[in-house]
C-alpha cells in the first residue's frame, strides 16, 4: 500500500493593494473640501448646475469634454488633476505655459462701488490670481468691509490715490505709481481718496474661486450684521 506524502503548502502571497484608480467624483470632492467650497459655489464659478456636480461626486454621472473644460477652468486646476488617483504620485507642475488677455478681456465682477477684472482666466492651476480693479468707495462705510483670505497680496496703484485699511495697522496712503505687499489673511479694504477714480493692479497668491468665496462670505456677514431699515409710520388718531 502506497503511503501518501503530504507536502507543506506554501502560504498564499498577499494580493498587492490595488491603488485607487482615476475617479472624477472623488477628485472633485477632494478639491472642494480642501478649498472649503460648497457645490453651489463651485456651480457659480463653473456654470455647471449643482445637481450635475452632485451626481458627478457620487459617481452617477460623467462629464463631456466641454463640461470638463468648464470645471477645470472654473476651479483653476489642470484636467489631469481631475483624474488623479488619490494615492498616486503628485502631478508635476506644467511647464512652458503662456496665456494672453486682450484689452477688454477677462472675467468681470462688480460688487457695490468696486469692480474687478480677473485676468488670464483660461489658464488653469495658476499659482497667482492677477486682476485689475476700479474702486469708487470714498469711505470705509462705502466699502465691502474688511475682507480676508488665504495667501498674500500685491497691489499697484495705476491711477488715483488709495487708502489701505488693514486689521492691525493704521490706514496708509499709497499714491499713483506706489505699491503695497501684505498678508491677506489680515482683514483689508481699499478706499479711493484722490481726485481721480482709483484704479489698481492686484496679484493674489489665492485661487480665484477662493477669492470669490471670501467676498461672498464677507457680504453675507455684513448683511446679517446690518439691521433692516425701519421708518416711523404716522397713524391717524381716532
**Tens of pLDDT, residues 130-143:** 999 999 999 999 98
Q: pLDDT band for position 89 (50/70/90)?
A: low
Residue 83 banded pLDDT, cuts 50, 70, 90: confident
pLDDT at residue 190 tops 90: yes
Closest among 41, 208, 39, 29 to 125, alpha carbons compared = 208
- Mean of pLDDT over the chain: 80
Confidence (pLDDT) at 85:
65
pTM > 0.75: no
Among 67, 1, 56, smallest CA distance to 29 is for 56
pLDDT tens-place string over residues 149-176: 888 999 999 999 999 999 999 999 999 9
Q: Taking residues 17-33, report their average pLDDT.
A: 71
- Indicate the pLDDT class of residue 227, thresholds 50, 70 and 90: low
pLDDT band, very low/low/confident/very high, at 102 (cuts 50, 70, 90) = very high
Architecture category of domain 24-82 in CATH: Orthogonal Bundle (1.10)
Q: For 107-224, CATH number?
A: 2.60.120.10
Q: Which residue has the higher pLDDT, 144 or 196?
A: 196
Q: What is the DSSP string of 181-192?
A: EEETTS-EEEEE
As given in the structure block, the three cell numbers for residue 41 are 459655489
Question: Domain map of the chain by residue range?
Answer: 24-82, 107-224
The DSSP string of 57-89 is HTTS----HHHHHHHHHHHT--HHHHT--TTSP
Lowest mean pLDDT among 42-46, 177-181, 222-226: 222-226
The percent of residues above 70 in pLDDT, for the chain, comes to 77
Do 107-224 and 24-82 fall under one CATH topology? no
Buried b (16+ CB within 10 A) or exposed e, 204-232: bebbbbbbbbbbeebeeeeeeeeeeeeee
pLDDT digits over 69-78, tens only? Answer: 888 888 877 7
pLDDT tens digits, one per residue of 197-221: 999 999 999 877 777 777 777 667 7
Amino acid at each position: 500500500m502506497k503511503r501518501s506524502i503530504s507536502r507543506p503548502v506554501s502560504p498564499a502571497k498577499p494580493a498587492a493593494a490595488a491603488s485607487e484608480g482615476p475617479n472624477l467624483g472623488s477628485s472633485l470632492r477632494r478639491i472642494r473640501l480642501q478649498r472649503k467650497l460648497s457645490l453651489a459655489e463651485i456651480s457659480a464659478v463653473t456654470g455647471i448646475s449643482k445637481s450635475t456636480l452632485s451626481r458627478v461626486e457620487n459617481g452617477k454621472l460623467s462629464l463631456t469634454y466641454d463640461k470638463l473644460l468648464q470645471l477645470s477652468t472654473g476651479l483653476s486646476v489642470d484636467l489631469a488633476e481631475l483624474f488623479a488617483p488619490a494615492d498616486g504620485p503628485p502631478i508635476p507642475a506644467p511647464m512652458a505655459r503662456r496665456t494672453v488677455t486682450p484689452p477688454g478681456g477677462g472675467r468681470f465682477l462688480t460688487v457695490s462701488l468696486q469692480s474687478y477684472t480677473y485676468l488670464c482666466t483660461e489658464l488653469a492651476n495658476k499659482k497667482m490670481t492677477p486682476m485689475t480693479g476700479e474702486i469708487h468707495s470714498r469711505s470705509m462705510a462705502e466699502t465691502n468691509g474688511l475682507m480676508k483670505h488665504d495667501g498674500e497680496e500685491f497691489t499697484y496703484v495705476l491711477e488715483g490715490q488709495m487708502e489701505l485699511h488693514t486689521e492691525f495697522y493704521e490706514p496708509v496712503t499709497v499714491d499713483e505709481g506706489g505699491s503695497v505687499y501684505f498678508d491677506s489673511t489680515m482683514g483689508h479694504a481699499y478706499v479711493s481718496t484722490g481726485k481721480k477714480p482709483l484704479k489698481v493692479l492686484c496679484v493674489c497668491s489665492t485661487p480665484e474661486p477662493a477669492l470669490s468665496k471670501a467676498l461672498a462670505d464677507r457680504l453675507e456677514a455684513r448683511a446679517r450684521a446690518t439691521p433692516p431699515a425701519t421708518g416711523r409710520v404716522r397713524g391717524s388718531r381716532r
